[in-house]
Amino acid sequence: MKIVSTERPATKEKRQYHIACAPGEVAPCVLLPGDPERVPKIARLWDEAKKVAYHREYQTYTGKAGGVPISATSTGIGCPSLAIAVEELAAVGANTFIRVGSSGSIQRDVKVGDVVISNAAVRLEGTSKQYVRVEYPAAANYEVLLALIQAAEKLGHRYHVGITASTDSFYLGQGRPGLGGYTQSFAKDVMQDLQAARVMNFEMETASLFTIAGVYGFRAGSVCAIFANRVTGEFGVGEGEMASAEIATEAVKILAKMDNEKQKSKKRHWVPSV
């Protein structure tokens, strides 16, 4: 891969440095799981799919679901690698992003196997702070949020809508002890403080996704499966994984209908009366 720019690293054909995708290879709507192995699992839900690229932690499939173009790109763990994916996917034509992740509940009634649809996120990570000041909100796009809720209702999956907290640390950042029981006072209090503020879950990417999308004017949403409940101590790896993937895929179809209705009505924003 011969890179022609150090400012926005890509080839002459605009194949991106990290994700190894070029214009025409990625759909406008992209699902963003963290785990590369989750991408082909998601793609099996579609009518058609093909592997486009796999470089570093970024594996990409593109295809169609219900006749609607769709892609999925893995982002690895954490906000820095997600930000790279969003930057480069947008550079080759994507404009709508849905995180399809795993997370841990911090509320008793948000159970293992449920999914959380985030309407906003607490910015406990560092990546978003390199884009805009800390007071800037990390909020979901309302069209994507509505599409995810409608999809969950249609498919009959148990879901919750609320605020997510995104951290840079799986251990102390989420109130767990570090190696040998190492901790700090802020780590001891973080989960209790967020529970009191009705935050639903911990994960490691949504806040940066929402912030970056807001800054650039993209649409973004997030649906995460609950693998663990920190209140009850339950841990069920993989629980709800395919439910979140099904919801995100259905949401892309719903967004396509919304977009068609907006176009026909010559409206900029979708409302139920369109």
Q: Which residues are catalytic?
A: 18, 88, 176, 230
Written as six digits, the tokens of 231 are 């209140």
What is the rounded CA–CA span in Å between residue 83 and residue 75? 8
